[in-house]
Amino acid sequence: MSEVAILNPTTSRGLNTNTTPVAPLLDADRKPLTKKEVSADHPTWCPGCGDFAVLALYFKLIERRKLHHEKITTVAGIGCSSRFPYFVQAHGAHYIHGRALPFASGVSLSRPDLQVCVFGGDGDAFSIGGNHFTHTARKNVRLTYVVMDNSVYGLTKNQTSPTSPIGFKSKTDIWGSKDRPINPIKQAISAGATFVARTTATNPNHVLAMMEAAMDHDGFSFIQCLSECVEFYPGAFDAATPRKGGVFNEISKEHDVTDEYAAYKLADTAWPGLFGVYYKTERPTKNANEQSIITDLQGKSAGLEPWQILKKNFDRMK
Amino acid sequence: MSTAASPQSSPKISKISEAVIRIAGNSQDGIQAIGGFLARLAGRSEQEVMTFMTIPSTISGGPSIFQVRIGSGEVLSAGDEADMLLAFYDHSYKAHLGSLKKGGIVIYDSDHMKAEDIPAENLTQYRHVGVAISSLTVEAIGGTGRDKGKNVFSLGLLAKMFDLNVTKLTRLLTERFTGKDPKVAETALNAFNAGYNYQLASAPELFQFNPGENVGLSQVVMSGNEALAYGLIAAGVRFGAGYPITPWTDIMELLRRELPKYGGSFQQCEDEIASISMAIGASWGGRVAVTGSSGPGISLKTEALGWAVMAEMPLIVVDVQRGGPSTGMPTSIEQSDLNIACFGGHGDSPRVVIGTSSVEDCFYTAIEAVNIARKYSTPVVILTDQGIATRIEAFKEPDLQKIVQDISPDLTPVTDHKPYDLSAPDGITRHLAPGTRIASGKYPVVTGLEHDELGHPTGSAKLHVQMVAKRRNKLKKLASELPVPTVYGPAEGQILLVSWGSSQGPVQEAVKLARAAGHAVSSVHIKYVNPLPPGLENIFAGFSHVFVVELNDEGFAGIGQMGALIRTYIPDAKIRGITKTDGLTWKVKDIVDRALQMAK
């Protein structure tokens, strides 16, 4: 009923008593990170897993883009591929199943200075996290989302995933899956993603090119990266791997990446489909939209301290 | 029949120190607006005020009431019985006459109710005043607003009846209705004046308040949800996320509207899970963020809340309790979320839970919750309820210059850092915001898996034991630092009433009532629900009976949720529960009657 004893306010660091500050470093004095510096725990993936390639290429991206440790934030949900943040020597978060995107959105929207990269699998993205995929795409939150799609639940050892093809035999579909799989590219385009690309872990140069293009995109950039599960769905993507007798067909240079309908149509190309950027458009990001509201409202209370802004409201409630 | 315009002399004027006025009608009648004006007037007149409101859960229409208790002294509850009832319809009259004190005054709209239809026994028990509210309003402001404006007309009637400060009321009306069209304010003033100047010669009595006690005090008037939201802003919170659900929604609406002024933002998400996840992401970003909900929304958030416990992430979760389970009673008051707030989720997941006891308390609790979340690196659940959320009270204007905090993240580089340092002297986890350079080149990870000191996953049973204990012990440390609750009334006696959350006011009033009747009753209020504060055992020792008063079910064990929680700390059979689930706030007399009955 009365004023409580309020702890003395200090900045957050004031409460971080077990850290010692050090002098800042000028960016110019810093060398690009080496693979050794940017790798952390040894990956827990099975030998031969497609995810190793994606991780290696993420390191390469960091090196090539001269990103520093502290500016990279790696976020993931739950699944084999979602162990990703442990393997990267940077601030990382391993969140709950299916919810990496809203977590990452909270980071992106509250900390516009950070590069936010989200990694996950097909179950995480399109099954338990399906709702978030749609809404993060339509809001165009500025972050990069790489879905390492192996078309099977690997961590729980071989159940049908939302991208498993019809006829796929798993422990939950011993007769072969009957459900129509999700087409991630069509899903992303119809949800309103502003950058949609497809690649495969067996083509490293292409993966890196897609990651770089995604990172340069101002908005929600989505990459579907086929990544084979050698344990539970071996050979899933042989049809897209030339050294296994498949074909790696890139999207024609003639394709207009801003043409939504053309992109949607391309996404229906017969298996193993096409690789490259399907769709890319410029639309104000959620981050920019929020910033414009802030700029607008802050303009009206320019020069006022936070307590004075609050006081104006309280004065109206007298 | 007192409405007959008999040529009597002016009614007598009685001096009063408090009055309970209940206004009953339909939800579109603007009843809350009259209540709001009366509350703000009381605030400006340095008087105490407390309101009580019921809103139908239907989209439009349906009966609605607003009760205002205005007093020159301390007002602890919205009042058991009304001194005056203002009934807009026949159904409002019938439903609420029972809430009127015997001998109380009822003003009814004679356009909707005929005097001859009033049963004779009602006329002997209550004093009736019929006023053609609807037609007089139309007469005053023109033909279009048959339903609009009669609330303001009625406010005029009440102003006359209680000799309210017309200058201040006129100013409030002008402030409220001055918008794009100046005619709106003019119309409102016309309606008000028509009500005020109506010849209340038929009124049996007129009233005048004694001067308020809070002389010279600058008061603000707002609802509990508003106070909570402004408290979060004052605490330095700049990011939040939520999903609409009654009665939490107006907190998110307010934060959405206000936060950008401070450079922050509030996000409406696709669902409850996304909203807590976004808030946790922002908290990890370096500044404590807020999410909140009511009823089923809280259930949906529990998995993510468990992650915040495991990763030891500061976070504020506001739970505006309503009747449950499931969709339950969305617009009714209940305190039945204590268990989910304290224990919801799988695994051992200790977290902090704090209750709010009044509108003013909502403001300060929000700030304290933020500071506890930061200091102990923990999620904090603020348990408020539908009653406090919607009611309006006046309280002393906070010293904002002193109170408003800056909690911007500090990104100064450090040499090395282990967030889950097991050898930290205070045993508390500290996170560094992403963007902070760590010179050693070893970066921490936050995770829902059991982890080592750097946040990397571990299957080690030894580390699990250590980390479980760490998460428990930091909050035991908090518990040991909490203030010992103070006893309201003498420290020894027959009965001790224990309150938490919004039952504090009615319980303290029950103590006053019982003591006035010669009973040795005291009370103690528990603000910190989880972990419980120290010293309760000593306090309980001074009484033969300890009754925990709460708005929830007595359960299989015959004791409410807080009662059961207290019993796990102090297993004493003299601790029993006084509970109810009728969806309404406590009536002071009921508490006293039940306590005395149980102590027999």
Interval B185-210: pLDDT, tens: 888 999 999 999 998 767 788 899 98
Surface of A (150-189) touching B: CB under 8 A: none
All structural domains of chain B with their residue ranges: 12-217, 221-403, 410-481, 487-599
Whether A106 sits inside 8 A of B289 (CB atoms) is yes
pLDDT computed for residue A11 by the predictor: 40
pLDDT over 50 (residue B7): no
Task: Identify all chain B residues contacting A310, using CB atoms and an 8 Å cutoff.
Answer: 230, 233-234, 400, 404
Contact with chain A for residue B486, Cβ under 8 A: no
pLDDT over 90 (residue B126): yes
Q: Could you tell me if A158 and A299 lie in one domain?
A: no
Task: Identify all chain B residues contacting A16, using CB atoms and an 8 Å cutoff.
Answer: 410, 430, 432
Interval A73-127: pLDDT, tens: 999 999 999 999 999 999 999 999 999 999 999 999 999 999 999 999 999 999 9
> Degrees (nearest 5) of the Cα angle B499, B379, B504?
10
- Could you give the CA distance from residue B123 to residue B255 in angstroms, rounded to a whole number? 49
Whether A314 sits inside 8 A of B398 (CB atoms) is yes
The mean pLDDT of chain B is 93
pLDDT over 70 (residue B57): no
List of chain A residues with pLDDT < 70: 1-21
Instruction: State both tokens at A60.
Output: 């390469």
Considering the entire predicted model, what is its pTM? 0.95
Residue A139 belongs to domain with CATH number: 3.40.50.970
pLDDT over 50 (residue B104): yes
Surface of B (382-421) touching A: CB under 8 A: 397-398, 400-401, 403-417, 421
Q: Could you tell me if A242 and A301 lie in one domain?
A: no
Q: Which of B396, B502, B390, B506 is nearest to B43 (CA)?
A: B396
Whether A109 sits inside 8 A of B278 (CB atoms) is yes
Q: Could you tell me if A192 and A296 lie in one domain?
A: no
Residue B183 pLDDT grade (very low, low, confident, very high; cuts 50, 70, 90):
confident
Residue B566 pLDDT grade (very low, low, confident, very high; cuts 50, 70, 90):
very high
Contact with chain B for residue A259, Cβ under 8 A: no
Mutate to test the interface with A, among B45, B261, B429 (most CBs of A within 10 A): B261
User: A193 — phi, psi (to 5°)?
Assistant: -65, 145
Q: Could you tell me if A252 and A304 lie in one domain?
A: no
Contact with chain B for residue A271, Cβ under 8 A: no
Which residue of B lies nearest to A129 if distances are taken between CA atoms?
B274
Judged by phi (left if over 0) then psi (alpha if -120 to 50, else beta), residue B572 lies in beta
pLDDT computed for residue A26 by the predictor: 75
Q: Could you tell me if A167 and A296 lie in one domain?
A: no
Instruction: State both tokens at B187.
Output: 């119309």
Residue A28 CB neighbours (<10 A) = 5
Residue B147 pLDDT grade (very low, low, confident, very high; cuts 50, 70, 90):
low
Q: Partners of B527 in the beta sheet?
A: none
Whether A109 sits inside 8 A of B239 (CB atoms) is yes
Fill in the DSSP letter of residue A39: B
Task: Identify all chain A residues contacting B424, using CB atoms and an 8 Å cutoff.
Answer: 18
Residue B145 pLDDT grade (very low, low, confident, very high; cuts 50, 70, 90):
low
Which of A11-15, B281-285, B511-515, B589-593 has the weakest average pLDDT? A11-15
Same fold flag, B221-403 and B487-599: yes
Q: Which of A98, A79, A44, A51 is nearest to A229 (CA)?
A: A51
Measured distance between the N- and C-terminal CA atoms of chain B, rounded to whole angstroms? 45
Q: Which of B552, B500, B567 is nearest to B529 (CA)?
A: B500
Instruction: State both tokens at B517.
Output: 């009747």
Among B281, B365, B457, the residue with its CB nearest the CB of A102 is: B281
Structural domain for A134, as ranges: 31-283
Helix or strand (DSSP H, E) at B40: helix B31-44
Q: Could you tell me if A99 and A239 lie in one domain?
A: yes
Residue A17 lies in a domain: no
Q: CATH: 3.40.640.10, 3.40.920.10, 3.30.160.250, 3.40.50.1110. Which one for B12-217?
A: 3.40.920.10
Sign of CA dihedral B95, B100, B103, B107: negative
Residue, of A109 and B57, whose pLDDT is higher: A109
Q: Could you tell me if A318 and A191 lie in one domain?
A: no
Fill in the DSSP letter of residue B356: -
Q: Could you tell me if A294 and A274 lie in one domain?
A: no
- Could you give the CA distance from residue A11 to residue A154 in angstroms, rounded to a whole number? 44
Whether A110 sits inside 8 A of B397 (CB atoms) is no
Instruction: State both tokens at B111.
Output: 């356009």
Mutate to test the interface with A, among B232, B412, B511 (most CBs of A within 10 A): B412
pLDDT computed for residue B296 by the predictor: 97
pLDDT computed for residue B565 by the predictor: 98
Among B234, B274, B408, the residue with its CB nearest the CB of A11 is: B408
Helix or strand (DSSP H, E) at A115: strand A115-121
Among B230, B415, B430, the residue with its CB nearest the CB of A22 is: B415
Mutate to test the interface with B, among A103, A105, A290 (most CBs of B within 10 A): A103
Q: Could you tell me if A163 and A312 lie in one domain?
A: no
Q: Could you tell me if A250 and A265 lie in one domain?
A: yes
Q: Could you tell me if A308 and A260 lie in one domain?
A: no
Whether B442 sits inside 8 A of A296 (CB atoms) is no
Q: Could you tell me if A296 and A263 lie in one domain?
A: no
Residue A14 lies in a domain: no
Whether B282 sits inside 8 A of A24 (CB atoms) is no
Residue B564 CB neighbours (<10 A) = 19
Residue A203 lies in a domain: yes
Surface of B (521-540) touching A: CB under 8 A: 527
CATH for B221-403 is 3.40.50.970
Which residue of B lies nearest to A18 if distances are taken between CA atoms?
B424
Between B133-141 and B150-161, two packed helices, what is the crossing angle to 10 degrees?
110
User: B402 — phi, psi (to 5°)?
Assistant: -80, -35
Fill in the DSSP letter of residue A242: G
What percent of chain B is modeled with pLDDT above 90?
Answer: 80
Distance from CA of B174 to the nearest CA of A (A): 13
Whether B283 sits inside 8 A of A14 (CB atoms) is no
Q: CATH: 1.20.120.1200, 3.40.50.300, 2.60.40.10, 3.40.50.920. Which one for B487-599?
A: 3.40.50.920
Distance from CA of B77 to the nearest CA of A (A): 12
Interval B346-390: pLDDT, tens: 999 999 999 999 999 999 999 999 999 999 999 999 999 999 999
Domain total in chain A: 2
